[in-house]
Amino acid sequence: MAKVTGLDGIVAAETDISLVDGEQGHLIYRGYWAKDLAVSKEYEEAAYLLWFGELPDEARLESVRNSLQSKRELPDRIRKLLEALPATMPVMNVLQVATAAMSDDTPAWPPTIGQAVELTALLPTIVTYWHRKQLGLPAIEPDARLGHTANFLYMLTGERPNPAHVKALNAYLVLGMEHGMNASTFASRVVLSTQSDMASAVSAAIGAMKGPLHGGAPSEVIAMLDAIGSKDHAEAWIRGVLGRGEKLMGFGHRVYKTRDPRAEALREVTEALSGNDPWFDLAVQTEQIAVALLEEYKPGRRLYANVEFFAAAIMRAIALPTALFTPAFTVARVVGWTAHLLEQAEINRIFRPQSVYTGPQPEQQQR
């Protein structure tokens, strides 16, 4: 019997939250194209859509903004926990520990929107607090006058962020919010299905996200863009890579067999911001040249830029340290996780898949 691994193609749940269609290149959030949301909506609007199933009117949008702003400050208990942890601990480990510690604040079952808001509001604060601690810098308190994305950048540096950087990062965070029944989402739903609490389920999701096969950072794409340096060098550099039979980082995707809709949205944002940052200019030119050369060297393979390619340009433009790439992805994805957890609670049944025993049988007893 062939071994069955990975659960590829196995349906684990029905969901109203998102559709990921790799063959068609579709990513849909609650009936809306995710790429349109990324280009035209704020983080808070997309979060409201995933949590409540509809886009907010102005009054509801203001309400969710205020709710997120009011929950940004670290509770004393979590601050003391962070102060006690060794400064060498990686950010993702810190996020997982701090999130698990938040489970004492709320009743275990059922999960609530309020818990989802609190987790979403606090994760950027934890990330920035820890980053600055590792640099030997004081923490920067959140600014209630700023939106979710702008405040995240502000807490990293203490400086008012460039509006072009805010817009680009906002698009990235919206596109990172949700992506179907991926490993971290499945891990969170499994934990919650036992009637554990939301914070524990999100902590489990973070544990899955920090694995390099799931939440891997686009650092190799940044290294590629750094090596290219300018658009004038792009064609020769890419021809060298393809001529040697090496992989071109940031192109192709396991799920999407056509253009990655997330990359399409980030390209649109990046193109619109060209002229505001040299890294946006370089990314746009490099992507155009690379797609043409991939078709020349690998005809019919349909290799296009994936989300990591344009994410790398954004991360490089905002000067986000490599160690914070996966934490930033986590700051985005917590909305999708919590939306799935609220959905799981409504129809809950504990996950209990079967396995096939392939080990030896005990020796037959002599009669």
Question: CA 187 to CA 202: how far, in whole Å?
Answer: 9
Question: CA 364 to CA 367: how far, in whole Å?
Answer: 9
Question: CA 167 to CA 269: how far, in whole Å?
Answer: 8
DSSP per-residue letters across 148-167:
HHHHHHHHHHSSPPPHHHHH
Report the candidate in 172, 165, 167, 153 with the shortest Cα–Cα distance to residue 34: 172
Question: CA 36 to CA 264: how far, in whole Å?
Answer: 10
User: Which residues lie closer than 8 Å to 74 by C-beta, 6 or more apart?
Assistant: 82, 122, 125, 126, 129
Backbone torsions φ then ψ of 161, nearest 5 degrees: -75, 150
List the beta bridge partners of residue 28. 19, 33
Copy the structure tokens of residue 288.
Answer: 């155009």
62 carries an active-site annotation: no
Report the candidate in 210, 252, 225 with the shortest Cα–Cα distance to residue 315: 225
178 carries an active-site annotation: no
Query: What burial class does residue 143 get, using C-beta atoms within 10 Å of its C-beta: 0-12 exposed, 13-18 middle, 19+ buried?
Result: middle
Question: CA 199 to CA 259: how far, in whole Å?
Answer: 35
- The radius of gyration of the chain from alpha carbons, rounded to an integer in Å, stands at 22
Q: Which of 264, 308, 340, 343 is catalytic?
A: 308
Copy the structure tokens of residue 99.
Answer: 């999130």
Q: Which CA distances in Å does 233 have to 49, 247, 283, 298, 309?
A: 43, 18, 12, 21, 18
DSSP per-residue letters across 219-258:
HHHHHHHHHH-SHHHHHHHHHHHHHTT---TTB--SS-SS
Question: CA 22 to CA 49: how far, in whole Å?
Answer: 22
Q: Which of 44, 253, 264, 343 is catalytic?
A: 253
Question: CA 219 to CA 225: how far, in whole Å?
Answer: 10
| Catalytic positions | 253, 308
